[in-house]
Structure 1
Amino acid sequence: MTPSPAERIRLAERLDGVAPLLLVADLDELRRLIAAPTPLAPSAPVGAPAAADDDVLLIDSARSTVRSRGREVGLTRLEHDLLACLTTEPVRVWSYAELHRSVWRDEGRERRADVQSLVKRLRRKLHELGTGVAIDSVRGVGFRLTDHRQPRVGGSG
């Protein structure tokens, strides 16, 4: 039985700082990550196979940078943690409380202004890269990572 995303986040929070940690949904995902030539490539649709590697959003956790289309920008720890959180489930809407807990590791806080400010800075950096990846607001709920290069399926938009 595969643990839910919430269970994986709780496990990661409990093990934070104890040792390096890689959480995967199943053995196939682990094999794909090991075979990947990059430090960390987000899962689809953000890191969907592209015609060239430059079209993929690459997060280098060791150097705290993000790269796309031959450009690279540095990230603060908070920006890195926010982007890493959003890429774990790119189409999922993350609430302010979930993002605050994952990025700042504060339990029971929901400081929307902190999250909004961080999202604004990270959006600016993603825009500098010229990537189609964006952080979309979901009114009254939170944010999600989307790849605007990918055609939307179903619904009007």
Structure 2
Amino acid sequence: MGTSAEQLAAVAAATAGGVPVIYLPDDAALRAVVEVAGPVAMIAHRVVEVGKLRLDADLREATWHGDVLALSSRDFDLLYALAGDPGRVWAFNELTTHVWGRPYVGDTQAVVSAVKRLRRSLRDVAPGVQVESVRGVGYRVTVAEVPVPSH
């Protein structure tokens, strides 16, 4: 049994169009595609862009107005998480799990220290990128358009 138009519409709606979907009605069609095009490697290039801030997770590169930012690995991971959903408040437990990859046991100090270092790294080189505290909850990133002085 094939996939109905309603099912395809539901997939598109559920992913908000953010996930590419290839629909092939049966195995014969899939074999034909592979025979014509050869094996296909689906590689998702993970890039987050918020205003003039661009983070490329595959290259581990952050840029502000096209200029590369010198961020530590932890700074990059933290900023990538926060910028991936700009304006969203990330709770301490979410950041601990997502950025550090470990369970949250109630200690906020690692997150607080990392945010201080990230803010220090961004202060002079990306003035429009702000990591805001939400008291008792966590942090969010906002990006403002700040004119960049000419070099």
TM-score (norm. length: structure 2) = 0.61
Structure 2 match to 1:12: none
1:125 partnered with 2:135: no
Listed one character per residue, the Cα deviations across residues 53-95 of structure 1 (whole Å, up to 9, x for unaligned) are xxx1011323323111242123333222211111221111111
Give the AA of the match of 1:105. Answer: G
Unaligned runs of 5+ residues in structure 1 are 3-24, 32-37, 49-55, 151-157
Give the match's secondary structure for 1:134: strand
Structure 2 match to 1:22: none
Structure 1 match to 2:94: 98
Give the AA of the match of 1:123. Answer: R
Unaligned runs of 5+ residues in structure 2 are 1-9, 21-44, 147-151
Q: Percent identity?
A: 32
| Preserved CA contact (<8 Å) 2:119 2:130 | yes
Which is worse superposed, 59-68 or 87-96?
Answer: 59-68
Give the match's secondary structure for 1:120: helix
TM-score (norm. length: structure 1) = 0.59
Q: For 1:141 and 1:85, how far apart are their aligned partners in 2?
A: 16
Alignment of 1:28-43 (within 5 A): 28-30=17-19, 40-42=47-49
1:30 shift after superposition: 4.3
Give the aligned CA root-mean-square deviation in angstroms: 2.6
Listed one character per residue, the Cα deviations across residues 83-127 of structure 1 (whole Å, up to 9, x for unaligned) are 111122111111111111111111132321110111111112222
Q: What is the number of residues matched between the two proteins?
A: 111
